[in-house]
Structure 1
Amino acid sequence: MKIAYLDCMSGISGDMTLGALVDAGVDLKAIQAGIDSLGLPDCRLVATEVKKKGFRATSVTVEHEPEHAHRHLHHITEMIDGSDVLTSSQKELAKRIFTRLGKAEAHVHGSTLRQVHFHEVGAVDSIADIVGSAIGWDLLGVERIECSPIPTGHGFVKIAHGRVSIPAPATAELLKGIPIARSDVECELTTPTGAAIVSTIVDQFGHLPPMKIDTIAYGAGDKELETQGNILRLLIGEADESSVADQIWVLETNLDDTSGEIIGHCAQLLGEAGALDVYSSSIQMKKNRPGVKLTVLCWAADVQRLERILFKQTSTIGIRKWLASRHILPREAHDVETQWGTLEGKLATLPDGAQRFSPEYEACRRISEANEVSIQTVYQEATASYLKSRDEQ
């Protein structure tokens, strides 16, 4: 599987995205042809190699005649639909990015998608950045896009509606549900255009996934930062299809004054609330106190809910948490027939293509209790049934 990873150390913007795509080998002439088909006034893309804090990167700038037009979303989508050069997939992606941006602007300003008008992002350069990025991602031909947490910078920025805090209102709206990275840089690192692009195209946010890197590209932003290079790094390669990579959150707390009964009750509540796994470990804490480390694995969407359970149900006053990458084998549900009836299980595929069957505990327990046989006997029967059916195929 061809995969791309966006390393947004210095945030992301439309021009940084275009620069990274061109640096990765996407044909600038093909992007220019798509932009020309929109009917924008004398709009030309110029790619140059620049240095940012000593790092080489490609800068793509949009040169055009001055204009003062403020476009509505339907004006932009009509331009895209009217192109006789853009492919259907490029049109669809560009319109999805603009629609997401329009919804964010409408929400911030208390307007409707039809009525909202774009200021900065309705200008020629922003249209070129978004449509050009849609063309570039389509031509790049990756099957999956992942991205690092997004730094926004801090401080203030001046927009058409006056001076606002960073992230700008539309940027913050677009980044809802996306992990934000801390940054001490006092300027706008992530623009509304950049936020609209990543929130539309990215399949998953987190650390660099397991992959064989083939291409590393760098796109430059226009600002010069004092402490770091203003660049967007794009890594492209092949993901290992023999296993599935994803990211989960690990929550962890140490307890030395909570009874086993309470810990057990809390673990049950955490499981019912959506934790992927809950387990405890015996530890030695300060002042030679024996304690318990309670660990919870969960999806990002469940972190806050599970933290509330930990704080409410135990004596903890602090929870450690971090994002962890994991490799999991592809698996599917698989039933086997036993002398007591059908028994559910899972069939996992190993990296070499071999398969491994695991009976479901609850199914084995249910049959064990109903037929008054040991659960070990049920496990053995289920495994033997699977092996027999496999050998007969």
Structure 2
Amino acid sequence: MQLHLDTTFGFDGMSLAGALAHLGVDMRPVLSALQQLDLPCRLLNVPQGPAGPGFRLTPADEALPADGLWPVSGLHAALESLPLPDEAREQAEKALRLLVEAQAQAHGVRPEGLAFAAREGVFVLLSLAAACWALALGRKALGITRVTASPLPWSSGTTQGPRGPLPLPSPAAALLLRGLPLRRTENDSDYSADPLPADGVALARVLPDAFELPEGIVRGLGVGYRPSGDDVWLRVWVLEEEETTPETPPVRRENRREETPDAQRRGGNEQIAQLETHLDHLTGEELGAALEALAALPEVLDVLWLPGLGKKSRPSGVLRLLCAPRHREVAAAALLRHTHSLGVRYCLLERTVLPRGAGRCLTGQALGPEGVMLPAKLYRLEGRDYARPEADAVREAAAALGVGVPALRMSRPDEY
């Protein structure tokens, strides 16, 4: 089954959770866990909304503080305390990390120093956790194997933010939109709420497998509304992808050449864009800053610096980065911006990738009897499953435990 997100009238996590509930997904595990976290929420029936009947997930009044701040560390801790399924946890944590980095860049602060207004922080947590958890429940309940989305709606004008008027899309949302497809809306000035809040764009970077038109037989439709107001909604469609006989070869995504890293979850062949340039004019500090900035971009898959000698035996090198073909222009612009190189070469390469996914694994058994459970890459090779802890998670865990990074890789010796 394919789940298609019709984002024509906006996209955010609360609407997605409401739409999946409207499709029949049992949200009681989510509501119960949020109640235990002192964030009670209700699912309300909307019998006559602009997009038809639907559901609205809304926090109770006692879950919305009037003032105060919620630091980023508190949001991470609250998300960690929720019993999300592994894939949902990985998606929610990634979306939160992208959102925090964009908000920090928009406000000119370091990510660890960012704090949300308490009310805004509640909505961010609910949006990310409820959406990712509801989608995980929907995969099991509805047999969803693939998630697609329509291009995101372009909007202009202003909306009222916690610190005053904000342009649409907001500065953080605008940063997150790099590399994502947009379509212009006909009446974008009619919105009373932001159709694309930054947390919604962060989820759009994480949840869909592809941005494309739906294809198949419609088996269900769900409608989700924002907690307040009915002029921003989300429709989600469940489609059964048609099977074809060997005599009529299918024209389907699985039989076309993949041009994005979306193929990685299934494994196989895909295209990848490789960009490179020669550099011999940057100082060591400038080169280090460029590598760090390029590696932090969500569109960039990997960055490599190959030192060598150039003309007249000058110290030189090749800066090379990888990205999906659809992100080539964004990556090239970033490479030029951060290096002031006078040109960039690029080519399309074929590569074979192993089936992979996201999960968690146990490591650092030498540090204690139970070890440390960390987010990890899961992959399959020669019929066996493997897990590799995420590097960022290893560094954070090592710092929290007061040990070096290698300590989390070492095994505990036998008793002697």
Fold equivalence (TM over 0.5)? yes
Match of 1:114 among 112, 115, 128: 112
Q: Where do 5+ consecutive residues of structure 1 fail to align?
A: 250-271, 274-297, 306-331, 333-393
Contact 1:94 1:131 in 2 (8 A): yes
1:49 is the counterpart of 2:55: no
Give the C-alpha shift of residue 77 in structure 1: 1.6
Q: Secondary structure at the match of 1:201?
A: coil
- For 1:154, the aligned partner's letter is S
Distance 2:116 2:33 in 1: 21
Could you say which residue in structure 2 is the equivalent of 1:336?
A: none
Give the direction of change, closer, same or farther, for the CA distance of 1:214–1:54 in structure 2 (3 Å limit): closer
Q: Give the unaligned 5+ runs of structure 2.
A: 244-249, 260-273, 276-323, 332-351, 353-416
Q: 1:145 and 1:304 mapped to 2: Cα distance?
A: 24
Amino acid at match of 1:217: G
Deviation digits for residues 236-256 of structure 1, max 9, x if unmatched? 23335765427999xxxxxxx
Shift of 1:211: 2.4
- Are the equivalent residues in 2 in contact too, given 1:90–1:134 (CA < 8 A)? yes
Residues 259-313 of structure 1, C-alpha deviation per residue, up to 9 Å, x if partnerless? xxxxxxxxxxxxx99xxxxxxxxxxxxxxxxxxxxxxxx95445799xxxxxxxx
Q: Which moved more, 1:143-152 or 1:237-246?
A: 237-246
Corresponding residue number in structure 2 for 1:60: 57
- After superposition, where does 1:56-95 map in structure 2 within 5 Å? 56-65=53-62, 66-67=64-65, 68-83=67-82, 85-95=83-93
From 133, 146, 149, the counterpart of 1:147: 149
For residues 136-215 of structure 1, the aligned pairs below 5 Å read 136-141=134-139, 142-183=144-185, 184-186=187-189, 187=191, 188-208=194-214, 210-215=215-220
Structure 1 residues 92 and 29, CA, compared in 2 at 3 Å: closer, same or farther?
same
Task: Return closer, same or farther for 1:82/1:16 CA change in 2, 3 Å cut-off.
Answer: closer
CA distance in 2, matches of 1:149, 1:62: 28
Tell whether the 8 Å contact from 1:6 to 1:235 is kept in structure 2 after alignment: yes
Give distance in 1, aligned partners of 2:257 and 2:211: 8
1:123 Cα deviation from its structure 2 partner: 2.9
User: Please, what TM-score do these two structures have when normalized by structure 2?
Assistant: 0.54
Larger gyration radius, structure 1 or structure 2 = 1
What is the identity, as a one-letter code, of the residue corresponding to 1:87? P
Shift of 1:137: 0.8
Q: Which runs of 4+ in 1 moved over 6 A?
A: 246-249
DSSP-derived class of the 2:53 partner: strand
C-alpha distance in 2 between matches for 1:302 and 1:90: 29
SS in 2 for 1:51: coil
Cα distance 1:205–1:8, how it changes in 2: closer, same or farther (>3 A)?
A: same
| Distance (Å, rounded) in 2 between the aligned partners of 1:114 and 1:240 | 48
Amino acid aligned to 2:207: I
Q: Which residue is equivalent to 2:235?
A: 233
Q: Tell me, yes or no, if the aligned pair for 2:41 and 2:57 is still in contact at 8 Å.
A: no
SS in 1 for 2:100: helix
Partner SS state of residue 69, structure 2: coil
In the aligned structure 2, how far is the partner of 1:130 from the partner of 1:19? 13
Q: Alpha-carbon deviation of 1:114? A: 1.2
Alpha-carbon contact 2:179-2:330 (below 8 Å) kept: no
Please report how far the alpha carbon of residue 178 of structure 1 lies from its aligned counterpart in structure 2 after TM superposition.
Answer: 0.7
SS at match of 2:110: coil
- 1:34-59 Cα deviation digits (max 9, x unpaired): 3234x235x22232123223622222
Kept in 2, the 8 Å contact 1:89–1:138? The answer is yes
CA distance in 1, matches of 2:38, 2:13: 17
**What is residue 12 of structure 1 aligned with on the other side?**
11
Give the Cα separation in 2 of the matches to 1:147 and 1:29: 26
C-alpha separation between the residues in 1 aligned to 2:24 and 2:257?
29
**Alpha-carbon shift at residue 148 of structure 1 (Å):** 0.5
Asked whether the 8 Å contact 1:17–1:194 carries over to 2, the reply is: no
RMSD (CA atoms): 3.2
Instruction: Give the partner amino acid of 2:125.
Output: I
SS of the counterpart of 1:190?
Answer: coil
The CA distance in 1 between the partners of 2:327 and 2:21, in whole Å, is 34
Distance 1:118 1:97 in 2: 15
Q: What TM-score, normalized by structure 1, do the two folds share?
A: 0.57
Q: Distance in 2 between matches of 1:157 and 1:248?
A: 38
Q: How far 1:177 moved relative to its partner?
A: 0.9
Q: Is the 8 A contact 2:85 2:136 kept in 1?
A: no
Cα distance, 1:151–1:75 mapped onto 2, change above 3 Å:
same
Pick closer, same or farther for the CA change 1:86–1:180 going to 2, 3 Å.
same
1:294 paired residue number: none
Structure 1 counterpart SS, 2:205: helix
Deviation of 1:105 (Å): 0.6
Question: What is the number of equivalent residue pairs in this alignment?
Answer: 254
Q: C-alpha distance in 2, partners of 1:240/1:301?
A: 30
Contact 1:50 1:56 survives alignment (8 Å): yes
> In structure 2, how many angstroms separate the alpha carbons of the residues matched to 1:135 and 1:90?
5
Residue identity matched to 1:20: A
How far apart are residue 81 of structure 1 and its match? 2.0
